[in-house]
Structure 1
């Protein structure tokens, strides 16, 4: 290879290019540069606060070609790391950035162990250089993500996590804040989404003496529901309008720029279509992965009572504690009297406080603990001395609390609140009716008889649960609907036939005369079944003494026995249906059509003439603030009313626009009116008169005016 005829030691970019092409031919030149680097490094170590451009260029040159001479550059990373460890805070910012970039280049070429470099970068987070800290944060997250791209390196992750957990307790607030930000970012990217990371943030970050670390950790456990909704809204707003782009391209002039834009829009549309087809990823929020939620809730409540931070930080504490109590069904009885102090209509962020009270309610909390909160809301919000909006918010909050803990409401208080169903303001009336609808489903006995409404099949089947009782289902709800018009069912028969028919489908078809197959569909056949069962019961219970009874005695008791027996037979029929449905669920795999029939039957049970749709009473993990702030209020200036006023104003009007004051339309206009239609060039000389007069001009004009008045006298 022909060597260039120039001074290579002074032209490092050209030497770098030549070394990458042929490393063996330029070994001597590289050795020279490396010795030059060592000498410059010794000089720089004497005064590290000054910038040395020659060292900067040499370091970047060696970092670029270090993979060509790995044996020579074996100690090169150690020189840089030792300098950064010992003098990181006093180094010149430009030189510090140079050394960091050189180490990142070596890390990308796998010439430096990842653990050593990342530990060094965590130490550099203490430096008073915001740009450097941001750069290091981005690199740390990207490097850890790339290391776990193909498979997770558990050993490396464990070492880095242990080191980072120590950084959370660092006395430097900026280093601790950056560490918790990195951990949260890695959790969101599903890289460190294990319980170890979550519990370290819970046990260390949420109790940090540094306020910024504390707030960041609390925000992590508050979830990101609002952000997700905002992102979904922004995505819906930024949807690609492919049809509009195609129409524009068809109508407008064909240019290269527009063709390129159309191709980009097509690519975006294809990408958005693929994204919609992908299955959504569901991840547990961090608050579900806490090992000791009871201990954390108690410690946070103790910290809340002794803190002197701002009100917004206290609100975060209340939110996290309420979510812990509601999701994990904890017992923290001191929380409810504490939150009662903030339940005032004039309190700042009072709707959020009401939301926390609802989130902290669950069925295992005794009703005596939550009842003072309901009474406080009733006394402070649901009174006629307040506005209708305040009353509606109080009723909505009461409904959300009672939805999660229905036993907290007393009978007297509920009947008093139900009287607002006929209130003059529609927002209060609808909020009260929603509370009545809730207790129609949960505990109709607490309502007044006229407020219970017409009972439905679902209400009749629902069992009123006592405190701490669970409704455990042993079959698929609504599977009785599959017994109608069913021809086969897999059952075990008694006797010898059970062995022969074990595991086989047994026909239960019946002839028209028996009327047993269609007993669920036709009400007339129920009477036949009842008669047969009555005869069977009568034969079993007959004695010799009953043979002598007269027909008149039987006829007199027949009317009384039939009503009782009908109720008993109806109960037996329901029990038989449930047993058959349970047997069907155990011996048959339901299809999608079967589940559709089950859902339709369950929905039919909840629908009555009084309510067109079923009430949603399922308890979710989080209480939506919109459920409390939801006030029915007709807007005074919505689009329809504004259009009505506009149309009304146009009536009896001759023409639109400004009318001049001329009596005769054919007469000439004034010069002032004509000036509005003239070109500006014709009026440019008159525009100067609008310039503000000087004090001397005002004096002269005043003097002239006074002289004129004197002459007139």
Structure 2
């Protein structure tokens, strides 16, 4: 009996997983065995406070390191069974990972073991999310690539889970404070710039990972508040250019190479990898045997490929909500321009273009006036400048209706001198005119009449792109300021508009909109729907209001058409009693004064009766139209679905007008509506541009693989699958396999002895020549 107990104790001491299992089943019975292992763990923990002995061998160090890692896992697994004994365990693991409290920081596999067990303690609610994240966030720039990926996914998952049902404001504030501190810790360093290799990489490791965490949490929709944006806004001015680039890309809505350098899933394009997998599976199924399992695998790969294509196509072009949440955008824009101009010699061109893009979008979104930016950008406005299209896009996006025209006039002259002259190619001229058009679209008063007349003459160019660009500039000034055009270039509509009223000068705001454009179309649509629902009844008086809307108008007095046009008092029934409500103290003189006013007004009405008859019809029709427009808005609260329907009705009406021969005005209106449909929710004057809009109409380039496959898929829609279904399982009545399929699956040793192969070997030279000639002729016919 004693011998079995001794062997049992030796077994438990050497086999920690078995002891761990027994402790979880009965913690009280095995407390003594746990204390033995826990004391061993504490003794090895104390050894971490001193450096390893100089004379100790590497073999003993490896054994002690392996044993220490096993004891950390054992104690962490049993921590819930003995919470009082192991209450210091989370602080000990934190000290081991961060190297605090005089403890040497762990490295290698021991660090990964400690991280894994700390996450397990969080999953068992031994520690909360705050303690876990306070430990893991500082580790991001210190650990290896594999462990960094694990820590990153753990942090993102924990924050997302904590904010899944309701916002965990306490956790968010603490983590945001940690990220803010990680960025702010390196703000005092000197700006080195990114020209040359190895520069600007010493500081900013923590800040880089802070920006990446903010970007991921914003993209997943976990953090969408102004404090998150302020963290990224601070990182824009970090001395490390890589941190600046990551923060700028956060506002621009695109991913950087730095964001993907530690993400193993993004080392290769996901779409290319998925497509290669699909092709490989199709090849395997074509040359070998396959069953339902392989078919399911192929369908799964195809669905994954289509999903990745949709995600790639749905990439956000700009993070507009983040730009809107900027605190004090004027100061932000001025600091951004100061950073750009001060370190112009130290930044590369790519980095300066990024800063220009962000500055221009902030200026356009918030209507800022950073006037030094236009004098700075003039030196980059040359057609041989690298990335000149992005610079032109940034220039156009920075302009708005409050930008002073005298600041933009030198820019327009520079564009015309550098891009629009006979010494450059047609594409350069088209890009220059398109850039001028986009600037003038936002601020028309920056253009000069002589320069405008010269640019419009390019509409006679033989190149399609140049003629289209000049025609777009002409159409723009016909709408915004036809007075700057020559009489022959204005057109009928622009000339009539110039007679009706003058263009508002710089600084004047636009007139307030009167009603909703196209609301009568929506009202007619609702009337037709109600008419169909009532079996063709068309009673406008009864169908003016919906049944649901009429309930909201109960107990309300609606004026009639006669009452609305009258200027006199209305008689109100009071059940036989006359009420006189007045603020005057002299109530005795009120009837006399009232009678005098009425007689005086009657005389005036008789004198003006003849003049009023001439405008009665016009006033009545105008009042009826206004009442018709405003009545629907009073009856119904228009929802986003109603506005979407209104846009569709306006587009359909414009298409009908074009089909019925509405002329160029109807075509322009249709084009404007289609353009607004493509950019829903964006202001036409302040929407963000793309390079294609600056380059203009160009010759159609060769399609890439994705575009070709997209066109092929569109052509196959609604068409039956081509090819023979003989012997296929997909047809209605499945049959046996064909002889060709059987021959393909036939064993090689049987195939070489088949009659077909033997006859080929025994064929004469004449038969071989005839067969070869027939094959050559067949190939020639297939080519034509």
TM-score, normalising length from structure 1?
A: 0.69
Cα distance, 1:456–1:237 mapped onto 2, change above 3 Å: farther
Instruction: Report the Cα distance in structure 2 between the residues aligned to 1:68 and 1:637, rounded to whole angstroms.
Output: 65
Contact kept, 8 Å, 1:77 with 1:103, in 2: the verdict is yes
2:223 corresponds, among 192, 195, 212, to 192
User: For 1:230-241, what aligned pairs fall within 5 Å after superposition?
Assistant: none
How far has the Cα of 1:35 moved from its partner?
1.2
2:325 corresponds, among 284, 289, 298, to 289
Does the alignment pair 1:27 with 2:31?
yes
Does the alignment pair 1:136 with 2:151?
yes
Cα distance, 1:184–1:500 mapped onto 2, change above 3 Å: farther
Does the alignment pair 1:609 with 2:679?
no
Contact kept, 8 Å, 2:364 with 2:686, in 1: the verdict is no
Instruction: Report the Cα distance in structure 2 between the residues aligned to 1:217 and 1:271, rounded to whole angstroms.
Output: 28
1:115 corresponds, among 126, 130, 138, to 130
Please, which moves more after superposition, 133-142 or 364-373? 133-142
Does the alignment pair 1:579 with 2:648?
no
Does the alignment pair 1:352 with 2:399?
no
Cα distance, 1:497–1:322 mapped onto 2, change above 3 Å: closer
User: For 1:90-129, what aligned pairs fall within 5 Å after superposition?
Assistant: 91-125=106-140, 127=142, 129=144
Query: Structure 2: 5+ residue runs without aligned partners?
Result: 54-60, 187-202, 258-265, 528-537, 545-557, 574-605, 676-683, 705-764, 774-784
2:452 corresponds, among 414, 423, 429, to 414
Cα distance, 1:69–1:384 mapped onto 2, change above 3 Å: same
Equivalent in the alignment of 2:513: 473
Equivalent in the alignment of 1:80: 93
How far has the Cα of 1:210 moved from its partner?
1.9
Q: CA RMSD in A?
A: 4.7
Equivalent in the alignment of 2:76: 63
1:169 corresponds, among 184, 203, 214, to 184
SS in 1 for 2:347: coil
Equivalent in the alignment of 2:237: 207
1:298 corresponds, among 334, 353, 358, to 334
Equivalent in the alignment of 1:145: 160
Contact kept, 8 Å, 1:19 with 1:26, in 2: the verdict is yes
SS in 1 for 2:86: helix
How far has the Cα of 1:501 moved from its partner?
12
How far has the Cα of 1:269 moved from its partner?
11
Cα distance, 1:9–1:174 mapped onto 2, change above 3 Å: same
Cα distance, 1:601–1:368 mapped onto 2, change above 3 Å: farther
Equivalent in the alignment of 2:469: 431
Query: Structure 1: 5+ residue runs without aligned partners?
Result: 503-535, 543-564, 639-668, 678-713
How far has the Cα of 1:116 moved from its partner?
2.4
Please, which moves more after superposition, 4-13 or 429-438? 4-13
Cα distance, 1:571–1:332 mapped onto 2, change above 3 Å: farther
Instruction: Report the Cα distance in structure 1 between the residues aligned to 2:338 and 2:206, rounded to whole angstroms.
Output: 27
How far has the Cα of 1:95 moved from its partner?
2.3
User: For 1:419-498, what aligned pairs fall within 5 Å after superposition?
Assistant: 419-455=457-493, 464-467=503-506, 468-479=508-519, 487-488=540-541, 492-495=560-563
Contact kept, 8 Å, 2:141 with 2:205, in 1: the verdict is yes
Please, which moves more after superposition, 80-89 or 67-76? 80-89
Cα distance, 1:446–1:110 mapped onto 2, change above 3 Å: same
Equivalent in the alignment of 2:735: none
Contact kept, 8 Å, 1:63 with 1:106, in 2: the verdict is yes
Instruction: Report the Cα distance in structure 1 between the residues aligned to 2:306 and 2:142, rounded to whole angstroms.
Output: 46
Please, which moves more after superposition, 426-435 or 25-34? 25-34
Equivalent in the alignment of 2:695: 629
Cα distance, 1:482–1:25 mapped onto 2, change above 3 Å: closer
Contact kept, 8 Å, 1:48 with 1:91, in 2: the verdict is no
1:619 corresponds, among 677, 680, 685, to 685
SS in 1 for 2:236: helix
Equivalent in the alignment of 2:711: none
Equivalent in the alignment of 1:530: none
TM-score, normalising length from structure 2?
A: 0.63
Instruction: Report the Cα distance in structure 2 between the residues aligned to 1:21 and 1:459, rounded to whole angstroms.
Output: 90
Cα distance, 1:236–1:413 mapped onto 2, change above 3 Å: farther
Contact kept, 8 Å, 1:293 with 1:328, in 2: the verdict is yes
Please, which moves more after superposition, 355-364 or 18-27? 18-27
Q: How many residues align?
A: 572
Contact kept, 8 Å, 2:48 with 2:103, in 1: the verdict is no
SS in 2 for 1:74: coil
Cα distance, 1:148–1:94 mapped onto 2, change above 3 Å: same
Question: Is the radius of gyration larger for structure 1 or structure 2?
Answer: 1
Instruction: Report the Cα distance in structure 1 between the residues aligned to 2:298 and 2:76, rounded to whole angstroms.
Output: 43
